[in-house]
Amino acid sequence: MKKSIHTPEYECFTRLLRKTREEAGLTQVELAAALGQSQSFVCKAEIGERRLDIIQLRTLLAALKVTLPEFVRKLEKELSRGSKGG
């Protein structure tokens, strides 16, 4: 297992995180305000510069009105597509 956060899987995670925010109709600034964080916190999480622990991810998703299990199902689906070459 690679230790780098710059894996195809983590890139898929960050892409889905951003897509989820956009689908919720929120800007990074609006999400950051809802979380009591800075816009740079959201930006860094979305570009993979800042790793989120599971509790932070759950809190972020709650602000987007998405459950952790729902997000994980979408992530698994995306990762499965990637491993099939498409």
| pLDDT, mean over the chain | 92
CB burial of residue 79 (10 Å; 0-12, 13-18, 19+): middle
Range of the domain at 23: 8-78
Residue 8 CA from chain centroid, whole number: 14
Phi, psi (degrees; rounded to nearest 5) at 10: -70, -35
CATH of the domain at 74: 1.10.260.40
Residue % of the chain over a pLDDT of 70: 90
Residue 28 lies in a domain: yes
Cα(8)–Cα(33) distance, rounded to whole angstroms? 30
**Number of domains observed in the structure of the chain:** 1
Q: Which residue would you say has higher pLDDT here, 84 or 82?
A: 82
The amino acid present at 79, given as its one-letter code, is L
Residue 86 lies in a domain: no
Residue 3 lies in a domain: no
Residue 62 lies in a domain: yes
Q: What length is written for the chain?
A: 86
Residue 33 lies in a domain: yes
* 15-50: pLDDT as tens digits: 999 999 999 999 999 999 999 999 999 999 999 999
